[in-house]
Amino acid sequence: MSGRRSGPDAGQEAPAWPSYDPDGFYDELVGPGGVPRPAAEALWEHFADLGPGALNERQEAADREMRAIGVTFTVYEGSTGRDRPWPFDIIPRVMPSDQWHVIEAGLVQRLSALNLFIDDVYHDQRSVSSGIVPSELVTGSPNFRRECVGVDPPGGVWAHICGSDLIRDADGTVYVLEDNLRVPSGVSYLLENRIVAKHVFPELFRHYSIEPVDPYIGRLAGLLASVSPSTGDPTIMVLTPGVYNSAYFEHAFLAQQLGVELVEGGDLVVLDDDCVYARTIDGLQRVDVIYRRIDDLFLDPEVFRPDSMLGVPGLMRAWRSGRVALVNAPGAGIADDKKVYSYVPDLIRFFLDEEPILSTVSTLRCSDEESRRFVLDNLEKLVVKPANESGGYGVMVGPQATESELAEAAKEIESQPSRWVAQPVIPLSTAPTLCEGEIAPRHVDLRPFILFGPEGAYVTRGGLTRVARRAGSLVVNSSQGGGSKDTWVVGTTGAKVPNQPAASNESTASKESTASKEPAVPTHPDPDS
Amino acid sequence: MTETMTETTTEKSTDPSRDNDPANETEAPKMLLARMAEAVYWSGRYLERAECTARIVQVHTDAHVDMPIGEDVGWEPLLAIAGVDTEFGQRYPSVSGSEDRRAAEDDVVEFLLHGEDNPSSILAAVSAARENLRTARPVVPREAWEAGHNLWLNCSDYLDEAQSRKGRVQWLRRVIDGCQRINGILLGTMTRDEAMSFLTIGQNLERADLTSRVLDVRSENLHPQRGDDPYVEVHWMAVLRSLAAYQPFRRAMPARPQGGSTLRFLLQDDRFPRAVSACLTETRSQLKGLARSEEALDACADASMLVASAAVPRLTLGGLSEFLDEVQVALDEIHHQIDQTYFRPTFEGWQPQSAAT
């Protein structure tokens, strides 16, 4: 089919959705004046051809399919978990590939530096002795694992799988908001979204060059095999806390896609030879690589929390002796807290001797007296976050806080300044989203996944776009009503629809004079934690 | 469009002793977790239980219509076949034994389809099959899990429809079709590996068990003294139909369906996949492909011998119920051996401190 309009409306120049107004925020698909961005032109026109009725039918079909193929996430109400169908908005977010490749290089650069930093933390601590980071950042962190000191994981890689949260400012600048180096989740939804999107808009996949997301699984399999301590074909397993974990769907999905076993702690045993074995129908079988989806502190009751029923006694012993590989390595979480975040540009310069490719949100450490004074004086304009947490817990959003919340935050900061950091409020970009039958702007973020092994790195093409479904809301996580979108990284030749001009390049640094009326605030609780 | 590998700048090089040369590729070690084996085994059992129960209720509804008022056997036999007469009695104390058959039909059928206090209801079996397929996702085809999940969605979504006799027929059809769809997917797409063996064994043991239960309960209502009664034939036709065996029986047996010929067919015909002996043959052939299966194979051989030894015409005159009890005990023994050997193994060479998890 062609993207050309037909029928009585053909040739009209009115914008496809006259009512669509991003309201001063940067919109991912629609530029100033309601004109679609080059990479999104064909898509936008196609939607106008379809009209709201057909779009809504396709949304319903997508909802049915998500439900039918059993893509769920677990919501906890009290102690009982309930499986909910995964919320998926059919309107994709489109990103030109040249723009994406800059982001990709920036993410790999970041993860390279973070891995060097983690390895340094557990060895010489050159970054401390050279004055790049203060020693209390390392040894004073609750995420520092003494048990990891001196360990040499294969290739010196600690954080093999990273999910980074990206946001876009009102002027179009992309920022890294957070790196998740512990057990980042969401990649299964990214892959399932694409499967459903192909069924929803098969005609668009014919006209657009959309970069595939499927290679992730093969790359992940290669990465896991590459860290095996054994020669020959490695035995790889995914370790899950069990069916009651909120990310269990993903654990099962990944094991199935990788073609490996999904194990719980009770399926594994560490013997006196410091090797890990699985209880199989044929007896005990040696395990080489464990893609663990259990937090550090639950991994091994012999070393960490003795009450953990999820882990495997002796697992740390096996890992330290190099007889099993753990992905991600224990202790990697030292590099993903808010305070380390503020040092990442310095770490990139120190370890790689390069300038950071991606921007970070400027972060004030309240332990610094001058910064603290500024933060206390401007609380109502800032976002205050706990320094050692990953995810959105304990976040205080100044512009939305009540007087008493502000006073409480000020008290906390003054009594324990080193626990807190503050950031300016970033007005999150929006993307067109189907809301009650209409297309309306909703705030989005983006979580790409980065694989990093001794043999190279790989970044998903695009990522999981999370969208706040309530108007004006900035909460994108699914447990609080957030939805998701497929993310299309499209070739710079753009849509190959007749009469469509090739999409022009759009750089990450593209600036637009848009004044945000209301400040948006990034809050991104991590679904796994 | 193709992905690129970006060179990284780690300071350490790959361990040179590791050998990932593709030329050195060996076959991946065969491995099946004990927990996975158990999950696929129970997937098979629950799927079969759901399908068989649906067929039995379906056929009983049809046959009931054929019976003259006052001659029918009521709905209680269904509870006996499913082995839930006690649970039903607790749930509906006033209804059991009541003369009001219509009330009993609604209650019995509801109880069998989705009774909340009935752990063996069709919905409970479908739900348990789904849970086990979910656990077993890594070892079953994706489509099989999806089909199991869909069956459960459909059964739950259309529960209201099952209230009336007409809607019930459709609901039961959904269950049977859904189970058959999963069977088809497994047959057409699943690797014939150990996981498949456990699934097949689970299905066959459950099938043999249900066939023997149907025979047990249905034979209680046999009236040998009324041999010419046309309803005896209707009765045995219903028994055959409830096991999808009517047409195969017709092709295999020259005789009209009577107690003796039906029994022989459903117990001993090795070519019909729902006959007890055929289920045991299939179980044996699957067990042979598994390591350490000696004890389970012995139990299987004992059961086969018992079934083959049945003196069928004489059993119809007496002792059938006792004989079928023995068959069920023999089937339980096979399950017990499999359970002990594969699902709850104790391995030699475990240090006590390591094994205490």
Whether the per-residue pLDDT at B77 is higher than 90: the answer is no
Domain residue extents for chain A: 19-216+333-361+430-529, 230-323, 364-424
CB-based contact, B17 to chain A, within 8 Å: yes
Cα A61 from chain centre: 27
DSSP B339: I
Nearest to A115 among B10, B29, B37 (CB): B10
CB contact under 8 A, B10 and A157: yes
Of A367, A335, A11, nearest to A148 (Cα)?
A335
The domain total for chain B is 1
Tokens matching residue A415: 């009594």
CB contact set of A385 (below 8 Å; sequence gap of 6+): A338, A394, A395, A396, A420, A421, A422, A423
Give the mutation candidate from B4, B7, B10, B290 for the A interface (greatest A CB count, under 10 A). Answer: B10
Q: Is B255 on the interface with A (CB under 8 A)?
A: no
CB pair distance less than 8 Å for A269 and B31: no
Residue among A108, A154, A233 minimizing CB distance to B29 = A233
Name which of B32, B135, B355 is nearest A281 (Cβ-Cβ): B32
Q: Judge whether residue B332 has pLDDT over 90.
A: yes
CA distance B353 to chain A (A): 9
Token pair, residue B51, equals: 């399908």
pLDDT of residue A14: 45
Cβ separation of A284 and B357 shorter than 8 Å?
no
In this complex, the residue of A115, A226, A238 whose CB is nearest that of residue B20 is A226
Of B33, B345, B351, the CB nearest to A272: B351
Structural domain includes residue B353: no
Question: Which SS3 state, helix, strand or coil, does residue A27 take?
Answer: strand
Shortest distance, CA B17 to any CA of chain A (angstroms): 8
Interface test with B, best of A100, A280, A281, A347 (most B CBs within 10 A): A281
Check CB contact under 8 Å for A155 and B10.
Answer: yes
A233: nearest CB among B28, B350, B351: B28
Indicate which of B7, B14, B25, B126 best probes the interface with A, i.e. most A CBs within 10 Å of its own CB.
B14
Q: Do B14 and A260 touch (CB under 8 A)?
A: no
- Nearest chain B residue to A285, by CA: B31
pLDDT of residue A32: 86
- State the pLDDT at residue A522: 40
Q: Cβ contact (<8 Å) for A282 and B291?
A: yes
Best of B1, B2, B3 to disrupt the A interface (most A CBs within 10 Å) is B3
Instruction: Please state the pTM of the whole predicted model.
Output: 0.84
Determine the distance in angstroms separating the CA of B348 from the nearest CA of chain A, rounded to an integer. Answer: 9
CB B268 within 8 A of CB B308: yes
* Residue A285 to chain B, least CA–CA distance (Å): 8
Contact A154 B32 (CB under 8 A): no
Residue A116's closest chain B neighbor by CA?
B10
Cα–Cα distance, B338 to B329 (Å, whole number): 14
Interface of B with A in 316-345 (CB under 8 A): 342, 345
Q: Which among A497-511, B112-126, B221-235 has the top mean pLDDT? A: B112-126
Contacts of B350 in chain A (CB under 8 A): 269, 271, 284
Q: Say if strands A89-96 and A482-490 run parallel, antiparallel, or are unpaired.
A: parallel
Put simply, the answer to whether B347 touches A284 (Cβ < 8 Å) is: yes
Tell me, rounded to whole angstroms, the distance of Cα B157 from its chain centroid. Answer: 23
Residues of A in contact with B26 (CB under 8 A): 232-233
Determine, yes or no, domain membership for B355: no
Is the confidence at residue B1, as pLDDT, over 60? no
In this complex, do B26 and A212 lie within 8 Å of one another by their Cβ atoms?
A: no
Contact B149 A69 (CB under 8 A): yes
Q: Which residues of B touch A64 (CB under 8 A)?
A: none
Residue carrying the six token digits 């002027």: A171
Under the banding of pLDDT at 50, 70 and 90, the label for residue B232 is confident
Phi, psi of B58 (to 5 degrees): -55, -55
For chains A and B, count residue pairs whose Cβ atoms are closer than 8 Å: 163
Give the mean pLDDT of B161-165: 85
* Contact call for B18 and A228, based on CB within 8 A: yes
d(CA A477, CA A445): 10
Q: Is B27 exposed, middle or buried (0-12, 13-18, 19+ CB in 10 A)?
A: exposed
- What is the least distance, in Å, from the CA of B181 to any CA of chain A? 15
Say if B351 is an interface residue toward chain A (CB within 8 Å): yes
Strand partners, A81: A76
Neighbouring C-alpha atoms within 13 Å toward the C-beta of B253: 24
Closest Cβ–Cβ partner in B14, B25, B134 for A454: B14
pLDDT in tens, B122-144: 999 999 999 999 999 989 999 99
Model confidence pLDDT, tens digit, residues B275-317: 999 999 999 999 999 999 999 999 999 999 999 998 887 887 7
Determine the distance in angstroms separating the CA of B69 from the nearest CA of chain A, rounded to an integer: 44
Q: Determine whether the interchain pair B354/A232 forms a contact, defined as Cβ–Cβ distance below 8 Å.
A: no
Closest CA to A426 of A446, A397, A449, A468: A397
The reply to whether residue A231 touches residue B19, judged by beta carbons under 8 angstroms, is yes
**Residue B245, in any domain of the structure:** yes
Low-confidence spans in chain A with pLDDT less than 50: 1-15, 494-529
Q: List CB contacts (< 8 A) between A272 and chain B.
A: 351, 354
Query: What range defines the domain where residue B108 resides?
Result: 33-344
Task: Find, among A462, A502, A503, the residue nearest to A212 by Cα.
Answer: A462
- When mean pLDDT is compared across A301-315, B97-111, B197-211, B305-319, the lowest value belongs to B97-111
Task: Report pLDDT digits (tens) over A325-370.
Answer: 999 999 999 998 888 999 999 999 999 999 999 999 999 989 889 9
Contact between chains at A284 and B349 (C-beta distance less than 8 A): yes
Find all residues with CB under 8 Å of B290, minimum gap 6, and list them.
A281, B194, B197, B342
Q: A68 and B149: CB-CB below 8 Å?
A: yes
- Share of residues in chain B with pLDDT > 90 (%): 48
Q: Distance, in angstroms, between B212 CA and closest chain A CA?
A: 29
Nearest-CB residue to B138 (from A67, A262, A285): A262
The answer to whether B345 contacts A279, with C-beta atoms less than 8 Å apart, is yes
Which tens digits make up the pLDDT trace of B8-38? 433 333 444 434 444 444 555 568 999 999 9
Which 89-148 residues of chain B touch chain A by CB within 8 A?
Answer: 134-135, 137-139, 142, 145-146
What region, left, alpha or beta, does residue A240 occupy, with left being phi > 0 and alpha being psi -120 to 50 degrees? beta
In chain B, residues with a C-beta closer than 8 Å to the C-beta of A112 are: 8-10
B354 contacts A270? CB cut-off 8 A: yes
DSSP letters, B159-177, are: GGGGGSHHHHHHHHHHHHH
- Nearest CA-CA partner of A40 in A57, A49, A27, A56: A27
A41 to chain B, closest Cα gap in Å: 20
Q: Which CATH number fits domain A230-323: 3.40.640.10, 3.30.1110.20, 3.40.50.11290, 3.40.190.10?
A: 3.40.50.11290
CATH of A364-424, one of 1.10.1760.20, 3.40.190.10, 3.40.50.300, 3.30.1490.270: 3.30.1490.270
